[in-house]
Amino acid sequence: MREARVAPYSFDYGLDAGRFDAPARGGSDDRWHGDDGRGDRHRPGGVRRPPRRTPERRPVVLLGTIGAARQHDGTDAMTGSDYTPQHVAQSPETPPLQGAERRRSFGTASALTVVSAVIPGLGLAGTRWRVFGLALTAVAVAVAVLAGVGSVFARGWALSVVANPTWLMVMAVALAVFGLLWAVAVTATQVLTRPHPARAWQRVVGAVLVAVLTFAVAMPSAFGARSLVETSSLLRAVFQDPDDPGGANAPSFGNGSDPWANKPRLNVLILGADSGDDRTGTRTDTVMLASIDTKTGDTVLLGLPRQTERLIFPAGSALAKIWPDGYHLPGEPDGEQQLNAMYQNVIRYPGAAASLPPSKDPGATMLKMAVGTSLGVDIDYYVMANLEGFVEIVDALGGVTVNVNKPLPVGGKNPNGADPGFPPDRWLPPGPDQHLNGYDALWYARGRYHTDDYDRMRRQRCVIKALSRQVNLTTVLANYEALTQAGRDVVATDVPNSLLPALLDLAGRVRNAPLRSVSFQNGVDGFSTTHPQWSAVQQRVAEALAPQAAPPASGGPSTPEVTPSKPAAAPTTTRSGAAKTPSAEPSATPTQVADECAYNPVA
């Protein structure tokens, strides 16, 4: 019997039957072999026909179905070549990327990384992290819009937020977290958008770019968060808390929409405390009252000489009963009878401190009562600065520019009785627009060698005027940390936290408004430091603070202000021609601080 010759079962693709199991006869894949599903019985002689070649489908079917058509040596099992399809060549630690992420160039990835650094998270919009990136962008835009709208249309609300210590701490934490997420977004943008697999140089350049950009976005966030913490600490340390002694006694005026509704003028007592090594205790050598028009910011400085005696107290008060004829300490040296000694002596005199209302600083509270009653005004708050700390504040602001009209001593002390005194270390040369550091500015405002208290008071007003004009937002931000540290160490006040937003708003008006002064000098305009006539003083103060309907007659030449500012609503004159002996009618005309601080060199 003749045997049928059957051809070996093979695909003729270079794979033997041991590496690839043929599909069952009659299955769906029989079409590869030319079978119509009826089996070999319909073939003549039962001999199978060789399968058709389909080279165009071979790589897809074999590699896509088997997934392991590479031998252990890495060569193709069919051809012996090292051909590797793209989807097989992916790095095992990098998940396959799809679509636009896969096709971007390294330059595009770098540009998107920069975009994420400029606009937080925006570079992730075309990646799998788009939700995270767009959420970060939305938060940044919302905060920017809220800050802009608040500063323009809701200024009071915005100031109330930035002046609240609790809110400042919340914002500090939020800013730190946002800065961290921003840095993550920059890093993720570079990793998700660069070509995969990245070449070695692309990895290095990308890492450097990410390091620079994350530093650029993280440092401002860290600085901002730290500044907010410092500000919160400063506000808690310096300004009055309602729970502190005396906080409940703080004056209250106005309402939520207008904090100055019932307060046409705000009166703040400015004290300069000198507690140097050559002094006994703390002496308030600088005593000035700043009376501020709450509508216009127009400010009048009222200065009392430090050697003024017999200040009076409110009628019927316990202090008025202790000193019915004004502050006086029988049997004490003359220096202890003066204004600059009252601050430290209040705790020495029996019953004086106990008669004061609750306060964290009895000496300052006593001065508020005495100066206010003597001048005929109600003093709302006080601000006291240590003169030694004044150096730190001026240095933190980058110095102060003033006019020096004559050589001024740096150091030195005048002879006093048996005390021979000593000469200064050096002299500040005269000249216009002299830029002084903190130490020299202190002696500009403090020096009395071969000069007197009244010239020193004038220079102190010039320093206040110069600082109020020269301080700006850029200067404050550039030296913020030093300013907050100096302020916490050298400034004390009873201004409550709740009033800070209104004060910040008022400070903006004060900066651009006229600044005038009324000084009281022994033997001038009927004033005497040893036996002052307080009724005449009060009349002069009332006239100086009253609105002036028309400009008064000029009593002397006026020098234009060196630093431009808005013109005064009511121009005033200087007292250059004032007599050196008491006059019958005291003059109430305040002096423009710009005039007395102008450059007029003295021969």
Instruction: Indicate whether 10 pLDDT > 60.
Output: no
The model's confidence at residue 182, banded by pLDDT at 50, 70 and 90, is very high
Say how many CA atoms lie within 13 Å of 156 toward its Cβ: 9
Please state the rounded mean pLDDT for residues 393-411. Answer: 90
Predicted local distance difference test score (pLDDT) of residue 52: 59
Compute the distance between CA of residue 537 and CA of residue 8 in angstroms, rounded to an integer: 129
Instruction: Indicate whether 76 pLDDT > 50.
Output: no
Residue range(s) occupied by CATH 3.40.630.190 in the chain: 269-310+365-596
Predicted local distance difference test score (pLDDT) of residue 370: 94
Adjacent-strand bridge partners of 518: 302
Compute the distance between CA of residue 384 and CA of residue 382 in angstroms, rounded to an integer: 7
Predicted local distance difference test score (pLDDT) of residue 569: 35
Q: Which of 76-90, 139-153, 280-294, 350-364 has the lowest mean pLDDT?
A: 76-90
Kindly report, residue by residue over 292-344, the tens digit of the pLDDT: 999 999 999 999 998 999 999 999 888 898 889 999 888 778 778 899 889 98
Q: Which of 75-79, 261-265, 521-525 has the lowest mean pLDDT?
A: 75-79
Predicted local distance difference test score (pLDDT) of residue 572: 34
Please state the rounded mean pLDDT for residues 144-156. Answer: 81
Kindly report, residue by residue over 432-480, the tens digit of the pLDDT: 999 999 999 999 988 888 888 888 888 988 998 888 888 776 777 777 7
Please state the rounded mean pLDDT for residues 368-384. Answer: 94
Query: Which one of 18-22, 75-79, 363-367, 415-419 scores highest in mean pLDDT?
Result: 363-367
The answer to whether residues 495 and 273 touch, using CB atoms and an 8 Å cutoff, is: no
Question: Which of the listed CATH numbers 3.50.50.60, 3.40.930.10, 3.30.470.10, 3.40.630.190 matches domain 269-310+365-596?
Answer: 3.40.630.190
Which of residues 563 and 415 earns the better pLDDT score?
415
* Angle, alpha carbons 558-562-565 (nearest 5°): 90
Instruction: Indicate whether 62 pLDDT > 50.
Output: no
Please state the rounded mean pLDDT for residues 127-139. Answer: 93
Predicted local distance difference test score (pLDDT) of residue 13: 44
Instruction: Indicate whether 560 pLDDT > 70.
Output: no
Kindly report, residue by residue over 271-292, the tens digit of the pLDDT: 988 766 555 668 888 899 999 9
Instruction: Indicate whether 214 pLDDT > 70.
Output: yes
The answer to whether residues 506 and 499 touch, using CB atoms and an 8 Å cutoff, is: no
3-state helix, strand, coil in the chain (%, to 5): 45, 10, 45
The model's confidence at residue 519, banded by pLDDT at 50, 70 and 90, is confident
HEC string for 480-502: HHHHHHHHHHHEEECCEHHHHHH
Chain centroid to Cα 599, Å, comes to 34
End-to-end CA distance of the chain: 147
Compute the distance between CA of residue 346 and CA of residue 284 in angstroms, rounded to an integer: 13
Please state the rounded mean pLDDT for residues 418-423. Answer: 72
Which of residues 181 and 496 earns the better pLDDT score?
181
The model's confidence at residue 181, banded by pLDDT at 50, 70 and 90, is very high
Please state the rounded mean pLDDT for residues 167-176. Answer: 93
Omega prior to 197 cis, within 30 of 0: yes
HEC string for 541-582: HHHHHCCCCCCCCCCCCCCCCCCCCCCCCCCCCCCCCCCCCC
Mean pLDDT of the chain: 76
Compute the distance between CA of residue 548 and CA of residue 539 in angstroms, rounded to an integer: 15
Instruction: Indicate whether 208 pLDDT > 90.
Output: yes
Q: Which of 46-55, 385-394, 418-427, 519-528 has the lowest mean pLDDT?
A: 46-55
Q: Please name the amino acid found at residue 78.
A: M
Which of residues 445 and 556 earns the better pLDDT score?
445
The model's confidence at residue 243, banded by pLDDT at 50, 70 and 90, is low
Instruction: Indicate whether 69 pLDDT > 60.
Output: no
User: CB 274: neighbour CB atoms within 10 A?
Assistant: 19
Query: Which one of 77-81, 324-328, 345-349, 501-505 scores highest in mean pLDDT?
Result: 324-328
Q: Which of 548-557, 565-574, 582-591 has the lowest mean pLDDT?
A: 565-574
Helices 200-238 and 106-118: angle between axes, nearest 10 degrees: 0
Residue 300, SS3 per DSSP: strand
Going by C-alpha positions, the residue among 329, 339, 279, 333 that lies closest to residue 305 is: 339
- pLDDT > 90: what percent of the chain? 30
Q: Which two tokens stand for residue 577?
A: 């021609």
Q: How far is CA 361 from CA 307, 356, 414, 420, 571, in A?
A: 22, 10, 32, 35, 38
Q: Please name the amino acid found at residue 117.
A: A
Q: Which residues contact 429 (CB under 8 A, 6 or more apart)?
A: 404, 407
Going by C-alpha positions, the residue among 455, 272, 482 that lies closest to residue 364 is: 272
Tell me, yes or no, if the pTM score tops 0.85: no
Which of residues 220 and 244 earns the better pLDDT score?
220
Compute the distance between CA of residue 70 and CA of residue 89 in angstroms, rounded to an integer: 12
Backbone angles phi, psi at 294, to 5 degrees: -70, -15
Predicted local distance difference test score (pLDDT) of residue 32: 44
The model's confidence at residue 113, banded by pLDDT at 50, 70 and 90, is very high
The model's confidence at residue 174, banded by pLDDT at 50, 70 and 90, is very high
- pLDDT > 70: what percent of the chain? 69
Predicted local distance difference test score (pLDDT) of residue 22: 47
Q: Which of 7-21, 505-519, 565-579 has the lowest mean pLDDT?
A: 565-579
Compute the distance between CA of residue 94 and CA of residue 106 in angstroms, rounded to an integer: 17
Residue 431, SS3 per DSSP: strand
User: CB 285: neighbour CB atoms within 10 A?
Assistant: 23
The answer to whether residues 174 and 147 touch, using CB atoms and an 8 Å cutoff, is: no
Instruction: Indicate whether 552 pLDDT > 60.
Output: no
Q: Which residues contact 576 (CB under 8 A, 6 or more apart)?
A: 555, 556, 557
